[in-house]
Each structure stands twice: as C-alpha cells, then as structure tokens.
Amino acid sequence: MGNRHKFYNGILLLDKPCGITSHDAVAKVRHAVMQRRVGHTGTLDPRATGLLVVCMGRGTKIARFLTDMGKVYEAEVRLGQRSRTFDGEGVYEDEMPMLAPDMTAAEAQVFLDGYLGVTQQQVPAYSAVRVDGQRLYDMAREGIEVEPPIREIEIKEISLIKYEKPNLSFRISCSKGTYIRSLANDIGKDLGCGAYLSQLRRSSVGALSIDSAISIDEVERYHANGTLTKHLLSYDRVLPFSAFRIDNDFRKLVLSGRDVRVKDVIKVEGTFAAGDTISMKDASGQVLAVGTADADSDAFRDKDGKSKLFTYVRVLN
C-alpha cells in the first residue's frame, strides 16, 4: 500500500507474453502501478513475445527517438502450409499440406542469405496499419479488399538457428517496420511449399536487450515492494546518440532554448556531422535535451567558434 501513489519516470524493458497486444501489455503496466502516463515505442504482434520498450512518466518524452532503432528477432517458420494472416491464426485448414524441401544447414543458410539487404515489403493484410483511416485487419475481417502499402525495409543479418522439417528457425536483425510474418510468407512462396510464422520473439531493440527485461508479474511485485525504480533506465542509458556536455552555468538556460556556443561546451562524446540527431548533457552526464547538430563534432571543440551549434527538438528536463 505504501507505493500506491508512487510516480515512475524512465524506460522499462518489458518481456511481453504471447496472446496479448502491445496495447494490452501497456494497459496492464498502467493498472499495476496506477499511473496513466505509460506508453510503448514499437508494437509486437499478439502472438509474438519478447522485448517491449515501455516509457513511463517523463520517459514518454523520448519515445519518438526510440522508434527508429533496429530490431533483432528469433523466428520459427513452419513450411508446408499457407496462412491468410501469415501466422498460425489464419492457417488454411482446408488446404492439403505440402512437403517441405530437403536442405542441409549450409543450403538453408545460403537460401536465407538471399533476403539480405534493402528491399520492398508489402505490409500484411492483417495488421494494425491504417489505410484511409481504417485498420487493415478490420477491413480484412469485413471482407473489404484493399491493397496493403509497400514499404522499404532492410535485413542486416539473418542466420540459421536450425532446420528440422518442417520448421525453419533463424535469427534476424532488421530495420524498423519489418514484418517477419511477411518474410515467412515470402519464404513459403520462394520455396514453393507455403509457410507461415509459427513463433516470434524479439530479443533486442537497438542496444536494449531482452536480458534486462522483466515480466508483467514482476512489475506488479516490484511495485508492491518498492523496488521497481531499480529496473527503470534513465535517458543516458537508452538514447543511442553522440552527445556534448555543457557547463553548469548554461544548464539553467536550456529550458528557455538558449543557443549553444562553443564556450558553453566542456566535452564532446562520439562523432557526428551537421544534421545528425545528438544529445545535450550537463556536466554530470544527465541528458537535458535532444536536437540536431548544426555543425560537425570537430566544430564543437573549436574554441574560437561563435556560430550556433545546436537546434532543439525536445527539452527533457
């Protein structure tokens, strides 16, 4: 009872279970901690499990900066049957199963390598993407035919875990917006036997790992015993950008959006070019704002420079 009015600020790594939507997972967290200001940074399908990045309180201020990060999944594709939803929910039960092909592990890896790189992918008809203001899955269930949009995606790595007919398992690193269900369907088409996604687990989002995630039950337990704060990540542990630090005299001017000059900078972390997204930190390393660099990182070190260096996008404190 002592934590019923506790208000949390930060990023929570949640291990979403199978069978609920990402929205429902967030709703369960809200209910557990009795806090409305909670959201997530990237949807997982109801049948998928794994890492859901949840923003709490002031942590919601950086949600927009986390949506573009790449994802890593472990997937299992079942060969030999098709599915209207590209997963186990919509399998065509009236179709005769087809034989999965014989492949050695080496042959299976060569086949998977064919999906590497930048390509165009069609969004599944059964997805939450909106077309003309309506969810695709709502239109699909009502029998309304509509052409799902096509998006550019990138598959950066794809490695075989094992192939035991009819199940093909692999680990994949990909850009945001990649539908592994669509990839499973493509695999079935390319092998000529049909396929659907039978299991999916997201293991990382950018540098954030499922290894640090906790379950919904653990959220409830840690909130009850007063230890949930220990599981929240601060801005500096989550934002993936290079940064610069400003002196303490300038810190109080950040809220008013004061232009940053070279004289205000005490340290540069990493390298960046003009136009890149970067973080502004105080002398202790606390992230104060995220914005766009108006010059490259070398210019931030030029003690004679007087030009504007930084354009604010979001002040965080």
What confidence tens digit (pLDDT) does each residue in 83-101 have? Answer: 999 999 889 999 999 999 9
pLDDT given at position 5: 60
Question: Residue 1: which pLDDT band, with cuts at 50, 70 and 90?
Answer: very low
Q: Which residues are catalytic?
A: 45
> According to CATH, where is 3.30.2350.10 located in the chain?
10-68+208-236, 71-205
Residue 136's pLDDT band (cuts 50, 70, 90): low
- The Cα–Cα gap between 314 and 280 comes to 10
Output the pLDDT for position 131.
Answer: 67
- The CATH class for the domain spanning 241-315 reads mainly beta
Q: Which residue has the higher pLDDT, 4 or 21?
A: 21
Both structure tokens of 94: 């009236």
Q: What is the pLDDT of residue 135?
A: 72
Q: What is residue 3's predicted lDDT score, i.e. its pLDDT?
A: 61
In this predicted structure, the answer to whether residue 2 has a pLDDT above a threshold of 60 is: no
Length of the chain in terms of residues written: 317
Q: What is the pLDDT of residue 53?
A: 97
Distance CA 211, CA 174 (A): 19
Start-end of CATH 2.30.130.10 domains in the chain: 241-315
For the segment 101-109, the average pLDDT, to the nearest whole number, is 97
* Main-chain dihedrals φ then ψ at residue 15, nearest 5 degrees: -95, 95
248 and 282 Cβ atoms separated by less than 8 Å: yes
pLDDT at 268: 96
Instruction: Using the predicted structure, report yes or no on whether residue 34 has a pLDDT greater than 90.
Output: yes
Taking every pair of Cα atoms in the chain, the longest distance, rounded to a whole number of angstroms, is 75
Average pLDDT, the chain: 92
The CATH fold assigned to 71-205 is Pseudouridine synthase (3.30.2350)
User: CATH number of the domain at 10-68+208-236, please?
Assistant: 3.30.2350.10
pLDDT at 251: 92
What mean pLDDT is predicted for residues 223-242? 95
Residue 8 has pLDDT above 50, yes or no: yes
Which pLDDT score, from 0 to 100, does residue 130 have?
74
Give pLDDT tens digits for 157-203: 999 999 999 999 999 999 999 999 999 999 999 999 999 999 999 99
Q: Which two tokens stand for residue 6?
A: 């506790």
pTM score: 0.90
